[in-house]
Chains A and B, each alone.
Chain A
Amino acid sequence: MTRHETVAGRQRPPPTGASRRGRAGRAAADPSAEPAVVVTGICGRLGRLLLRKLHREARVVGIDRRPFPDAPPDLVHYRIDLRRKACRDVFRRERIGAVVHLGVMHDPRLAPEVHHTWNIEAFSKVLDYIAAQGIPKLIVLSGAAVYGPRPQNPQFLSEQAPLLGAGRISELRDLVELDMLAQSFFWRAPACETVILRPCFVAGSVRNEIHSYFRLPVTPTLLGFDPMMQFVHEDDVVAVILRALGPGVRGIYNIAGPGVLPLSEAIRRVGRRSLPIPHFVARRVLDRLWRARLSDFPGREIDFLRFICMVDDSRARRELGYEPSRTIDDALAALRDGIDEAR
């Protein structure tokens, strides 16, 4: 769900493999050092937010293909591709206490096979390293979108609901498969506490689908449809990741925001103007716009504007003690600011 900057896919991995910042030499490899938290895809917005909260409490090691220009000095950042052997060396060398996998590429402009291969290959490699090194904790950021917007959906989906998102929206295939891979990892590596988080739409500065959607010059809606939606503030997602890092936490958790609002209200709160289009026309129009590179929102994702895809997060509230600290108005205000900043 979280799309990390679009440049990700296009940038070549640096020839040297690893470029390190912060701690000098091999200090980080010192076995007596406190176990590090590895954050993949740390250069994305959510990765940076997480780092800001996390690096005061734990040693953080970042792995990303992208450079991290203004990284804090205590971050050890490896600018490498997750699929490369250099990445395995990082896992071998560092003493690692947990892995937070945010390195999911979501760039609809890339060829789907490139995209898919990268995401799945990279994640399988990460899983292999975790199993080989006996790392005790893995947190995977999936998304509520994996359930897919469908008219048959109950108002609030539980964690047991089947992941049907990829049926109609091919963009979701990566995320669904990633989620499934993580689920099978529960069995493959029972010693590792695996946590899968499925947040609803993450609002704030993060660049994801709803960001692209609300960034359109006018916000298309479907005539006669106004589904209820959930939004969660990015800070709350970071807070959940921190909680999930605690010992003993494992399992799948839906993360819903502080409330629900119909799409039309959300658009009003973000301060956008909506343009209702009949649904049978909308897909074609949006696809055209997308192909002409006039928008970043592919027409296939239109079902999100038509049907509900909301989650029940009572499990996260009960077991993780999750409680959103931001209201839905805060979340949407943050989304508005994020969009203004991107312009």
Chain B
Amino acid sequence: MTVAAEGPRRHVGGSRTRLGRLGREIELVPAPAAILPAAPAAIDRVPSAERREGPVSALLGTLADSLMGRLRRRVDPDFDRRYHAILKRLGPHGYDPFGFNLEYASYALVAAAWLYRRYFRCEVTGIERVPPGRAILAANHSGQIPIDGLMIGTAMLLDHDPPRLIRSMIEIWAATLPFAAKFFARCGQVVGLPENCRLLLDRDEVILVFPEGTRGITKTIDRAYRLEEFGQGFVRLALETGSPIVPVAVVGAEEQYPAVLNLASVARWIGAPAVPVTPLMALGPIGLLPLPTRYRIAFGEPIRLPGDADEDDEAVAEGVRVVRSAVQDLLNRTLAARKHVFW
């Protein structure tokens, strides 16, 4: 999706948020970076949460906490240290101004970490290239459901030092849905408006954009790894805020849902961006799970575009071309280095 500086209805580089079983965990995450101190052994509940609980819910809470603690350590032994690094950056009540709450998000984070380490076994290169301070990650978008966004977010959290929470953007429409609105906000997603991007970049945060937008994520397997047209808003945003753009290539997501067909008319009818059909759907519900392909996420050298906020459209279009070819290049190289789709 394009980063739209011109209209509030289009959303900024966000993953298309579908609210299906999988879509739920998807879009993680946000917030500030931190240098870590030595880590406490386990995670306690956020201190501000003095709840008035009955004995039953207190017991359930304790059980859930210890279970979560185990899960966290199993999924990633380093998880707690990283969790605390981020916790330190939040306000006294555990919330950041955008509604992110780590205690709430940690449940989704554990699921994301599991997907990242065990299911998609992500292989990350060049993550140290993400500069400290503000940055825009511009990635290719693929795979029918936006797991790519989730995996990039998890990579920045689990494999980047210091851990950084990145923000991606949701559609305005998601903010009107009960539960989803709250869930996304607590996981640090923000409504995809240029103003919000500017606010985040001014706070020196990292935002994730998918300049291809829906066109990218809904494409069928025959067009795999060929970038669609890029929107232009993100370049304008980078010029305005002086943010470097880091090209990111995600390889592996295209094959998780090998869509051979997109039922455009059905999609129009139900109001969805696409209705992909994969051969695996013949297997019934199990065929709806994404295939456990191996993800390879490559981060390129940050691009600092020359110019300022008043650059004309020509210069912005040139910037878009530069970023697009950098992403395509990174994509081609990562693809060439890949031996197999699944391992």
Contacts and interface: CB of A to CB of B under 8 A. Distances in A.
Interface residues of B, number: 27
B185 interface: yes
Interface residues of A, number: 23
Contacts of B173: 151
B42 to A, nearest CB: 24
A154 interface: yes
Given A151-B172, A262-B99, A224 B178 contact: yes
B178 A279 contact: yes
Given A151-B191, A152-B172, A156-B199, A224 B95 contact: no
A262 B195 contact: no
28 contacts: A151-B173, A151-B175, A151-B176, A152-B172, A154-B195, A154-B196, A154-B199, A155-B191, A156-B97, A222-B178, A223-B178, A224-B178, A224-B179, A224-B181, A224-B182, A225-B178, A225-B181, A228-B98, A228-B99, A228-B185, A259-B91, A259-B92, A259-B97, A260-B97, A260-B99, A278-B178, A307-B176, A312-B199
Nearest to A157: B195
B273 interface: no
Interface in A119-177: 151-152, 154-156
Contact of A259 (B93, B98, B195, B196): B93
B138 interface: no
B179 A155 contact: no
Interface string A315-338: 000000000000010000000000
Contacts of A328: 93
Interface of B: 8, 52, 91-93, 95, 97-99, 101, 172-173, 175-182, 185, 190-191, 193, 195-196, 199
Contacts of B180: 224
Contacts of A223: 178-179
Contact of B98 (A151, A155, A261, A265): A155
Interface of A: 151-152, 154-156, 222-228, 259-262, 265, 268, 278-279, 307, 312, 328
A70 B240 CA distance: 56
B181 A265 contact: no
Nearest to B101: A262
Nearest to B190: A155
Contacts of B92: 259
Contacts of A222: 178
A155 B190 CA distance: 8
Contacts of A226: 182, 185
A261 B178 contact: no
B93 A152 contact: no
B93 A265 contact: yes
A275 to B, nearest CB: 15
Nearest to B171: A151
A265 B95 contact: yes
Contacts of A268: 52
B8 A228 contact: no
Nearest to A151: B175
Contacts of B182: 224-226
Contacts of A307: 175-176
A76 to B, nearest CB: 44
Given A151-B176, A154-B195, A261 B181 contact: no
B16 to A, nearest CB: 17
A327 B91 CA distance: 12
Contacts of B101: 262
Nearest to A259: B91
Given A156-B97, A227-B99, 5 more contacts: A156-B199, A224-B178, A226-B185, A260-B95, A262-B101
A312 B195 CA distance: 11
A283 B178 CA distance: 15
A156 B196 CA distance: 8
A155 B196 contact: yes
Contacts of A265: 93, 95
A154 B202 CA distance: 14
Nearest to B183: A224
A225 B246 CA distance: 34
A155 B199 CA distance: 8
A311 to B, nearest CB: 12
Nearest to B97: A260
A223 B177 CA distance: 10
Contacts of B175: 151, 307
A129 B76 CA distance: 71
Nearest to A256: B97
Contacts of B199: 154-156, 312
A323 to B, nearest CB: 17
A152 B95 contact: no
A307 B181 CA distance: 9
Contacts of A227: 99
Contacts of A261: 93, 95
Nearest to A271: B52
Contacts of B195: 154-155
A307 B172 CA distance: 11
A261 B215 CA distance: 37
A56 B136 CA distance: 53
B93 A228 contact: no
